[in-house]
Chain A
């Protein structure tokens, strides 16, 4: 099965050594430069899981996110735009679930079980656990520093009980699949796939945790000249609104690459996408077509 995401580490190393335009098959998917586009693709700092196998977790990415731990929950700190994006994640999941009448939940009140992969300091995991429609959230991350932050922050909210929210120090490879009713209605990978060496294998592994009828939901950044300009050059190097070293532009993945990956797999359908743009002073807004340029959400449903 052909997938544009199935590049080998060797290929990636080659790509890294060369230029920000990868060889086949990635190069084929690189968007034409969109310089001059009005949109701002802002890379979001925290997200830390990376793994193509349990041994491939990159120590340098982990230490990078450990260093960010202290400011994770500062609403005016370096994670502010990530905090501001969080409500859109729920909106996107809501539209995905509303688009398909399949009832996936096996819990009594129709409540949902979430798995948040690369939970970082727990911005999404906490918010998902607070929703009245949530049965439980399992959140995993391999960075011990950020998990400590996530746990101590959750302890500040007595509503986030152990039943509702559980943090596990793990990668998706070391997490044992539940199977049956233990699988998840929603598996989320927010700002994660761009930090992963072998995204194809990573996505396949994450997909194993989705229950039939459930959704695999992610957000990432399109690999365009605009996103290089805004997320690497402007956000990290010039403006410094995102900590330096957060992003490797060469690992960004385009929306059509994700579509092609899941089209090539049996068992997945109803791909959905939503492009979002950060407007300073206004916040994040959905902008149709912007998934080709910068930040976007993507989701696929596992066939029931």
Chain B
């Protein structure tokens, strides 16, 4: 039976009597009645966004007294103890901007990540696969690699989540419900002592009920919290899949271990990116058609490797042909590359292998929730927005959300506001919605711009890319934006 309804039958009692019963309630203990389990924050979803939020709340002296619960479908203890040998890398990686890394450091999580598995990179090579127009994001030759010149840190998502879980365990004080299935989310009940009709109640399989002053949806693109709050997420599917894999290269990169470069080439089917990991390893993110994606997953390793090398080197026409072959791309690549002139150091070093079991794909979508807040509800990360991965900004957007929401909650606590109240949450919405919207729009437009294979748009976009490349200050600005420092625009 519902533990809340059972507490007291709803009967009219005058206010002064309520005050008396109220006082009595604190003087004697009920053995029969089940008190509703009321939390200040119930976070559904233990991914990077949810874990960062709870870590931030626990780490701040202003919010550390809040009663917090975490609900996650996966086994969190497995994630916390996640470990791979030094020469194996997970295929799900994200590039953390320096501002995300700074935030993780501020909440004490950065030191809990396996630092030898994180690869900072300092330069970017981005070019148009059709026209070869290029923009090189590199620093002046005398600029030594340092935190100030780091564009981003390539990090395995599991390295991040397991580090956050270790930090959270160190801080303590969070009621963790792992392996937990959310049956449904409902509203509380009114009793004579309190009125919880506007408070969300998370009902877990097995009967556990968590009443939330603030329910945080960090529960991904198909967010049940978002559905509960009646918030629509609008957008479209790109008709593209992102193919990921952990690649082994011929060396540590043209700049050695100290100066790593990220590569991205815009092909008419979508951008293909190779991002550096420690040692000879790199991670691949290739946005392409679902047919091409399924071919890539089917191919023998040597043909897959050849097609990846071809993607950074050969013409779109060559590539299109190679995608029609069911196998034999290795031979095709070896003779075609001999006849394609290119400057080797502006494309990645040759791929020599791929780690077993790391080739996977997922559909690409663009979704944006109509709002991030409701009465006693806030959405963060993918629950609020799903972005095209071409700029590697998805996870960073989530970290930006979390930083803003944690600040908003801190302000509310300091000023006696109800942290679940819409009025208290408004600053979070105001700070994040437009910022995310602009970035999502830019990435969406970039995708569409570079999906065009020929014609005047190719000349125009190439002109733009070459122009940006020749303008030092503008390029520095773009690099600072990508790196998340400098004046904040996006």
A residues sitting closer than 8 Å to B (CB atoms) are 75, 83-84, 86-87, 90-91, 126-132, 134, 148, 151-152, 155-159, 161-163, 166
Question: Roughly how many angstroms separate A131 CA and B22 CA in the complex, as a whole number?
Answer: 21
| Contact indicator A90/B414 (Cβ below 8 Å) | yes
| Contact indicator B196/A156 (Cβ below 8 Å) | yes
Given that A75-B423, A162-B19 are known contacts, is A155 also in contact with B417, CB under 8 Å in the complex? no
| Contact indicator A130/B417 (Cβ below 8 Å) | yes
In the bound complex, residues from chain B placing their C-beta under 8 Å from that of A159 are 213
List residues of B (421-463) whose CB comes within 8 Å of A's CBs: 421-423
Cβ proximity bits B72-107 to A, threshold 8 Å, 1 near / 0 not: 000000000000000000000000000000000000
| Contact indicator A158/B38 (Cβ below 8 Å) | yes
| Contact indicator B22/A161 (Cβ below 8 Å) | yes
Question: Roughly how many angstroms separate A148 CA and B14 CA in the complex, as a whole number?
Answer: 11
Question: Roughly how many angstroms separate A87 CA and B195 CA in the complex, as a whole number?
Answer: 25
| Contact indicator B416/A126 (Cβ below 8 Å) | yes
In the bound complex, residues from chain A placing their C-beta under 8 Å from that of B422 are 75
Q: Out of A90, A155, A156, A157, which one reaches B415, CB within 8 Å?
A: A90
Of chain B, the residue at the smallest CB distance from A152 is B195
| Contact indicator A131/B416 (Cβ below 8 Å) | yes
Does B418 sit within 8 A of A, measured CB to CB? Answer: yes
Name 28 interchain pairs, CB-CB below 8 A, sorted by A.
Answer: A83-B423, A84-B423, A86-B415, A87-B411, A90-B415, A90-B416, A127-B416, A127-B417, A128-B416, A129-B416, A130-B416, A130-B417, A130-B418, A131-B416, A132-B413, A152-B195, A155-B193, A155-B194, A155-B195, A156-B194, A156-B195, A156-B197, A157-B194, A158-B38, A161-B22, A161-B26, A162-B19, A162-B23
In the bound complex, residues from chain A placing their C-beta under 8 Å from that of B213 are 159
In the bound complex, residues from chain B placing their C-beta under 8 Å from that of A148 are 15
Question: Roughly how many angstroms separate A163 CA and B26 CA in the complex, as a whole number?
Answer: 10
Does B132 sit within 8 A of A, measured CB to CB? Answer: no
Question: Roughly how many angstroms separate A132 CA and B416 CA in the complex, as a whole number?
Answer: 8
Interface of B is mostly: mixed
Of chain B, the residue at the smallest CB distance from A163 is B26
In the bound complex, residues from chain B placing their C-beta under 8 Å from that of A84 are 423
Given that A90-B414, A126-B416, A163-B26 are known contacts, is A156 also in contact with B198, CB under 8 Å in the complex? yes
Given that A75-B423, A158-B38, A161-B26 are known contacts, is A87 also in contact with B193, CB under 8 Å in the complex? no
Cβ proximity bits B315-354 to A, threshold 8 Å, 1 near / 0 not: 0000000000000000000000000000000000000000
| Contact indicator B415/A158 (Cβ below 8 Å) | no
| Contact indicator A127/B421 (Cβ below 8 Å) | no
| Contact indicator A162/B416 (Cβ below 8 Å) | no
Question: Roughly how many angstroms separate A161 CA and B22 CA in the complex, as a whole number?
Answer: 8
Of chain B, the residue at the smallest CB distance from A130 is B416
| Contact indicator A87/B26 (Cβ below 8 Å) | no
In the bound complex, residues from chain A placing their C-beta under 8 Å from that of B413 are 130, 132
Question: Roughly how many angstroms separate A127 CA and B213 CA in the complex, as a whole number?
Answer: 15
Question: Roughly how many angstroms separate A174 CA and B196 CA in the complex, as a whole number?
Answer: 34
Cβ of A204 to closest chain B Cβ, rounded Å = 28
In the bound complex, residues from chain A placing their C-beta under 8 Å from that of B195 are 152, 155-156
Of chain A, the residue at the smallest CB distance from B197 is A156
Cβ of B139 to closest chain A Cβ, rounded Å = 38
Question: Roughly how many angstroms separate A158 CA and B415 CA in the complex, as a whole number?
Answer: 18
Question: Roughly how many angstroms separate A83 CA and B426 CA in the complex, as a whole number?
Answer: 12
